[in-house]
């Protein structure tokens, strides 16, 4: 225990020292970057462009070519975020037991498709209600605009270089991501029906309400809270909702015994690796699309900070795992990539490239200690999603207040407000589901695997399990 604490303190001190040096050495370039790439203190939509009386008039104008390019990039970015859902499915299935792979895939398909439909039916109009009291607003059911003016530029009401169709589909992919994160936290022992109900309610109510506080022009946006692409609004929300579910659900059978943590090995690390790289590719759309235009300076800047943070996160996780656990752990390295990506998401457009390295590296250190911490607390997260998305999402949002002129206190306030509201909602809803219909499968079903009991199918029907020695273990 003493050795663990000493290593923790040493690594954290070194990370903080590196962060101070990087910030001090790059203070002037950082200020210039903030001025030229983005304005931290406002997440408002771009000023309305000059309206056109007819579509034909708009198409004949000089603005139309730029509009086509910007709109096309948003659609490409939406496709890349869709690709991330394939990454989530393969990471989650690869890092868990083979007997639950069909269940994992089924949950991911359900959440993606249901999430987009729910966001179209109600979520989009809660998250972007127009003029509202800053806490809750509802613009009505459906996507909510005049179909005769899809561009939104015949009148100057919309004001972005994209159709509202493009904006909706891009945002809908984000919405589904939050609930997909929860799937990884609870895999291997949750009833499918209970997960479905929880996921629907999270996407229909909690996610769009907290999202409206910032991206919809709500009270946190007015205070100057900044979360460029969702370190807290998407990833933190998914992670904290997963934590609430894990507390109520309990650990997988055999995970904790006699004060020790028993490893339940990933069944297919190559599959998980494919998933992580799919997520990394998709993240360029997740962050790059959040520029909301194809501006060559801003998009390329975001690509660079995103890539640097991911690389730094992976290397930091590798080093930390070796120093603390004396292990060259491949899944930890993969989680380091994701930790770096989550960490930079809040400030990818305003944090300098060298500071992005520090943000990513710190996230890579944090994710290792966080995963070990949750094991010590007997909170079973099979894929490390709470640590990757929740804890590193918090770090990334606060990092905006460290490495840019944004207020650290406002960043802290916004993070606490969003995650507290999400946790209370998630805990209450999941507790109600648990009381009414139960949330956990029986010990027999868990032992046999959810693939057979829930789906009557196997992911690998032509393969037989190999007898192995007792699972590895380490002292918590």
Query: What's the pLDDT tens digit per position in 92-124?
Result: 999 999 999 999 999 999 999 999 999 999 999
Strand intervals (E) in 229-367: 256-257, 260-262
Of 1-15, 325-339, 449-463, which gets the smallest average pLDDT?
A: 1-15
- How far is the C-alpha of 110 from the C-alpha of 232, rounded, in Å? 23
**Structure tokens given for 3:** 């050795």
| Of 254, 277, 272, nearest in space to 264 by CA | 254
Q: 257-290: per-residue pLDDT in tens? A: 888 888 899 999 999 999 999 999 999 999 999 9
According to DSSP, the residues that pair with 473 across neighbouring strands are: 262
Count CB atoms within 10 A of the CB of residue 282.
Answer: 24
Whether residue 171 contacts residue 123, with contact meaning beta carbons closer than 8 Å, is answered with no
The DSSP symbol for 290 reads: G
Please state, in angstroms and as integers, the Cα–Cα distance from residue 167 to each residue in 75, 144, 292, 378, following that order. Answer: 8, 12, 8, 41
Q: What angle do CA 158, 160, 165 make, to 5 degrees?
A: 75
Is the predicted pLDDT of residue 18 greater than 60, yes or no?
no
How would you class 401 by CB atoms within 10 Å of its CB: exposed for 0-12, middle for 13-18, buried for 19 or more? buried
Higher local confidence (pLDDT), 50 or 108? 108
Domains and CATH numbers, the chain: 2-39+63-151+160-459 (1.10.3430.10)
Please state, in angstroms and as integers, the Cα–Cα distance from residue 323 to each residue in 5, 23, 289, 332, following that order. Answer: 12, 26, 37, 13
- How far is the C-alpha of 239 from the C-alpha of 385, rounded, in Å? 6
Higher local confidence (pLDDT), 33 or 215? 215
- How far is the C-alpha of 108 from the C-alpha of 110, rounded, in Å? 5
Q: 225-241: per-residue pLDDT in tens? A: 999 999 999 999 999 99
Residues in the chain: 476
Q: Could you tell me the pLDDT band of residue 56, with boundaries at 50, 70 and 90?
A: confident
Please state, in angstroms and as integers, the Cα–Cα distance from residue 384 to each residue in 36, 243, 280, 387, 441, following that order. Answer: 36, 11, 17, 5, 21
Q: Which helix (H) or strand (E) holds 474?
A: strand 473-475
Q: Is the pTM of this model over 0.75?
A: yes
The DSSP symbol for 141 reads: S
- How far is the C-alpha of 146 from the C-alpha of 422, rounded, in Å? 32
Would you state the pLDDT for residue 29?
Answer: 38
């Amino acid at each position: 225990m003493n050795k663990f604490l000493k290593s923790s303190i040493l690594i954290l001190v070194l990370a903080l020292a590196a962060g101070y040096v990087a910030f001090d050495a790059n203070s002037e370039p950082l200020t210039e970057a903030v001025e030229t790439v983005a304005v931290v203190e406002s997440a408002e939509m771009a000023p309305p462009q000059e309206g056109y009386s007819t579509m034909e008039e708009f198409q004949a104008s000089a603005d139309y070519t730029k509009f086509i390019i910007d709109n096309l990039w948003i659609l490409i970015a939406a496709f890349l975020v869709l690709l991330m859902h394939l990454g989530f499915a393969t990471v989650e299935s690869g890092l868990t037991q083979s007997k639950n792979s069909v269940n994992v895939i089924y949950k991911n398909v359900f959440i993606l498709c249901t999430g987009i439909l729910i966001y179209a039916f109600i979520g989009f109009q809660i998250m972007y209600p127009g003029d509202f009291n800053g806490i809750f607003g509802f613009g009505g059911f459906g996507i909510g605009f005049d179909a005769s003016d899809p561009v939104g530029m015949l009148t100057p009401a919309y004001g972005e270089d994209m159709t509202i169709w493009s904006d909706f589909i891009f945002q809908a992919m984000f919405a589904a991501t939050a609930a997909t994160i929860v799937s990884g936290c609870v895999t291997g022992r949750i009833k499918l029906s209970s997960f479905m109900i929880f996921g629907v309610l999270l996407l229909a109510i909690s996610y769009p309400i907290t999202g409206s506080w910032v991206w919809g022009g709500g009270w946190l946006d007015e205070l100057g809270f900044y979360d460029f692409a969702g370190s807290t609004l998407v990833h933190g929300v998914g992670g904290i909702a997963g934590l609430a579910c894990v507390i109520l659900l309990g650990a997988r059978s055999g995970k904790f015994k006699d004060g020790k943590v028993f490893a339940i090995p990933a069944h297919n690390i190559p599959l998980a690796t494919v998933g992580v790289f799919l997520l990394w590719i998709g993240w360029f759309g997740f962050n790059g699309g959040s520029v909301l235009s194809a501006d060559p300076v801003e998009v390329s800047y975001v690509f660079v900070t995103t890539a640097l943070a991911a690389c730094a996160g992976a290397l930091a996780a590798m080093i930390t795992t070796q120093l603390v656990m004396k292990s060259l752990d491949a899944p930890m390295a993969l989680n380091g990539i994701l930790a770096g990506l989550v960490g930079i998401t809040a400030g990818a457009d305003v944090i300098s490239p060298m500071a992005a390295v520090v943000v990513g590296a710190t996230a890579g250190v944090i994710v290792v200690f966080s995963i070990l911490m949750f094991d010590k607390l007997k909170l079973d997260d099979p894929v490390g999603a709470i640590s990757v998305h929740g804890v590193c999402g918090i770090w990334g949002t606060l990092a905006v207040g460290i490495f840019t002129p944004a207020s650290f206190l406002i960043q802290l306030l916004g993070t606490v407000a969003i995650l507290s509201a999400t946790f209370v909602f998630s805990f209450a809803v999941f507790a109600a589901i648990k009381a009414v219909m139960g949330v956990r499968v029986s010990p027999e079903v868990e032992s046999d695997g959810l693939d057979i009991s829930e789906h009557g199918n196997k992911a690998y029907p032509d393969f037989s399990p190999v007898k192995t020695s007792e699972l590895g273990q380490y002292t918590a």
